[in-house]
Amino acid sequence: MKQDSISTVGQVLLDGPLGARLDSMIDNHVAATDVDYITAPFLAKTETNGWWQTEFWGKWMHSAVPFLAYNDNPELLGKVRRGVARMISSQEPCGYIGNYPDALRCGEGWDVWGVKYTLMGLLHYHDLARRLEENSPALAPTAADALAAAMRLCDWLVAELGPGGRRGRALWETGYWCGYASSSVLEPVVWLYRRTGERRFFDFASYVVEGLSKPESGPRLVDLALDGVSVADRNGHGNVAETGGAYVMKHNRWKAYEMMSCYQGMLEYAETAESEGLPAAVPPETLRAAAIASARDIAAEEINLAGGCASSEAWFHGARRQHLAYTRLQETCVTTTWMRLCEKLLDVTDDPFWADQLERTFHNAYLAAMKADGSEFAGYTPLSGSRWHGQHHCYMHTDCCNANGPRGFLAYLRKFFVAHGDVATLNFYASARVKATLGDGREIDFDCYSLYPRSSAARLVCRTAGVFALRLRVPAHCASASAAINGTPLDGAAPGSYFTIRREWNPGDVVDVSFEMPVVAHVVAHHVAFTRGPVLLARDSRFGDGDLAEPFRPDSIADGQDCSALFAPAAPPSDDIAACYSASLPLGAHAENPDGALPSTVFFCDYASAGDTWRRGDYYRTWFPVEFRPDEN
């Protein structure tokens, strides 16, 4: 059985501005969380509204435990232990951990969804405690305590909703969104099998996979994906879709967060069935193909220039509509879940496409959602407007996005620098100290220096002697790339691929890489936006440079045009803006006037910095209107 939830997190230590942001998020958000508050619902057991209070603790544990490997924090460890103790103390003799009365369990609402996150939290603690117990006396609670609680909870779920279960209904028939929410429990059920080897848990996972793929009115995450049905168009295939735009729906299949969570579990299940040689409910290669096809569709049809997606957490062909003001754009839970799915797909496929996707989302939608001091995540992050606080959910002073937000940083960290066999791969660029363990047990070590993506260059300094291969990801969004080792140019660095350097390394060897990252125009339905490398650019009212809605002149900018000559780096006006550019652009509706015909000079910053004061009077814009001619519609 493999694996634990902490692996590789402590092997990347970020420095520079990005490291400072991570440190502040851990200190001001993760470690500052009131664990008594988020575990109180499990002790009170008073839920009668069908709400989701029981997701908050498990989501917090999903980041708190791995970040203990990154940043040793005794106070955080104490909170983790106290929270687990309170959770175990709340477990009923039947095995249930939650806050629903028996009559409302395993039906409508978010009870099974909460069980999913509780299992995740307990298994994260098991992994942490098992590691710590290798070198010290057993913690309280012990790793065995947490694993036993998780096993009892899963056994309860099987007895209630498994084949012939007490509730008399299938698991996928509970909860919302055609079974997506409840069925996403698949992921921690597979984790539980990996940690115990108990076949009954794998068999239950197979039952969940059958529900995800076979019932005509169920999730149907396999056949619809393989038939090429876009994620936004999967209603009406054996289900009767609800209308009216309600925020929570029973029968619709367009819910982004929960759908991606199910695909995450399917990939975990496929990997486990294949590695363990176990009979799978659906062939592993079929499950992988369905997950990849859906994720490719999401990347093409839903992901916007900021790497975010979804309106009110629903798929809506958002890539082609991103210039419009749709409601509740880019929920942080959706952003984080997309990053986790890209992380898993990169692991499964070794395709740098998924690293490109993860990087774009991280440097835009994700960092934009995080408050500058790391203390909070926005619930929604529009492409134009202002940053603002999330909701208070379930009569609690927190929400799903605040609980979920820190998990996104982990997806970035876990794939920053990884090793397989004698090959080490650097997927991302930032100032950091990185380590990895090769297949033969050797540990390798590099220092990385870069202000990427603000800068277009990075330097790696080797701290290890020996023969091994170093792979560098060349981002697909660069126009060209170059590399050199100890000043000697190397050939073969091509955008959208990995570039491999295999040699006998010595401490002090220096690898320099640089990327040509032009400013590119994107035109959609008489609107224009600009990117530089992976970064979406935005105008911000703090620059005080005029009307942010001022239109561009007709035919002045073409889709895909290299606009680098129009943009120049500029000094940011304040420390909270990471990157700044002045731009000379054909703006204005008065081009008939000689002065109006001249270019206007305005300023742009990176999207993550735009509006990051969280003041309603500060606003930003990423998509700009283009004037129509009289013969256009």
**What is 302-342 written as a DSSP string?**
T--TTS---BTTB---GGGGTTS--SSBS-HHHHHHHHHHH
Query: 423-516 domain in CATH 1.10.287?
Result: no
SS3 358: helix
The DSSP H or E segment spanning 504 is strand 497-505
Average per-residue pLDDT for the chain:
95
pLDDT (0 to 100) of residue 285? 98
The whole-angstrom distance between residue 513's C-alpha and the CA centroid of its chain comes to 27
Q: Is the pLDDT of residue 633 over 80?
A: no
The answer to which of 5-14, 169-178, 301-310 has the lowest mean pLDDT is 5-14
Q: Is the pLDDT of residue 534 over 70?
A: yes
Structure pTM? 0.97
Q: Categorize the per-residue pLDDT at 632 as very low, low, confident or very high, splitting at 50, 70 and 90.
A: confident
pLDDT (0 to 100) of residue 380? 95
Q: Categorize the per-residue pLDDT at 5 as very low, low, confident or very high, splitting at 50, 70 and 90.
A: low
Token pair 């993550």 in the structure block, residue: 608
Q: What is the 3-state secondary structure (H, E, C) of 397-463?
A: CCCHHHHHCHHHHHHHHHCCEEEECCEEEECCCCCEEEEEECCCCCEEEEEEECCCCCCCEEEEEEC
Task: State mean pLDDT over 275-297.
Answer: 98
- Residue-wise pLDDT tens digits, 329-354: 999 999 999 999 999 999 999 999 99
The answer to whether 320 touches 465, Cβ cutoff 8 Å, is: no
pLDDT (0 to 100) of residue 8? 72
Instruction: Return the half-sphere exposure (C-beta side, CA atoms, 13 A cut-off) of residue 469.
Output: 13
Task: State mean pLDDT over 138-161.
Answer: 95
The answer to whether 106 touches 167, Cβ cutoff 8 Å, is: yes
Q: Is the pLDDT of residue 497 over 70?
A: yes
The answer to whether 459 touches 483, Cβ cutoff 8 Å, is: no
Q: Categorize the per-residue pLDDT at 566 as very low, low, confident or very high, splitting at 50, 70 and 90.
A: very high
d(CA 67, CA 434): 16
Token pair 């117990």 in the structure block, residue: 133
d(CA 237, CA 232): 12
Number of Cβ atoms within 10 Å of the Cβ of 419? 22
Task: State mean pLDDT over 300-317.
Answer: 97
Task: State mean pLDDT over 477-504.
Answer: 96
pLDDT (0 to 100) of residue 589? 83
Choose among 379, 363, 241: nearest CA to 313: 379
Token pair 């210039």 in the structure block, residue: 323
Q: Categorize the per-residue pLDDT at 176 as very low, low, confident or very high, splitting at 50, 70 and 90.
A: very high
Q: Is the pLDDT of residue 105 over 60?
A: yes
Q: Kindly state the greatest CA–CA separation across the chain.
A: 82
Q: Is the pLDDT of residue 2 over 60?
A: no
- Residue-wise pLDDT tens digits, 586-613: 998 888 888 888 999 999 999 999 999 9
d(CA 350, CA 131): 28
Q: Categorize the per-residue pLDDT at 3 as very low, low, confident or very high, splitting at 50, 70 and 90.
A: low
Number of Cβ atoms within 10 Å of the Cβ of 556? 17
- Residue-wise pLDDT tens digits, 25-75: 999 999 999 999 999 999 999 999 989 999 999 999 999 999 998 988 999
Helices (H), 350-468: 352-361, 367-369, 400-404, 406-414
Task: State mean pLDDT over 527-551.
Answer: 96
pLDDT (0 to 100) of residue 1? 41
Directed axis angle between helix 406-414 and helix 56-70, to 10°? 40
d(CA 117, CA 189): 11
Task: State mean pLDDT over 394-401.
Answer: 86
- Residue-wise pLDDT tens digits, 75-98: 999 999 999 999 999 999 999 999
Question: Does 212 or 135 have the greater pLDDT score?
Answer: 212
Prior bond of 163 cis (ω within 30°): no
SS3 503: strand
Question: Does 552 or 247 have the greater pLDDT score?
Answer: 552
Q: What is the token pair recorded at 617?
A: 């009077």
Segments making up each domain of the chain, as ranges: 22-147, 170-299, 302-414, 423-516, 519-625
DSSP code of residue 28: I
- Residue-wise pLDDT tens digits, 235-276: 999 998 888 777 788 889 999 999 999 999 999 999 999 999
d(CA 537, CA 364): 9
Token pair 């660069």 in the structure block, residue: 478
Pairing label, strands 497-505, 457-462:
unpaired
How many angstroms separate the Cα of 195 from the Cα of each of 144, 201, 229, 504?
A: 11, 10, 36, 38
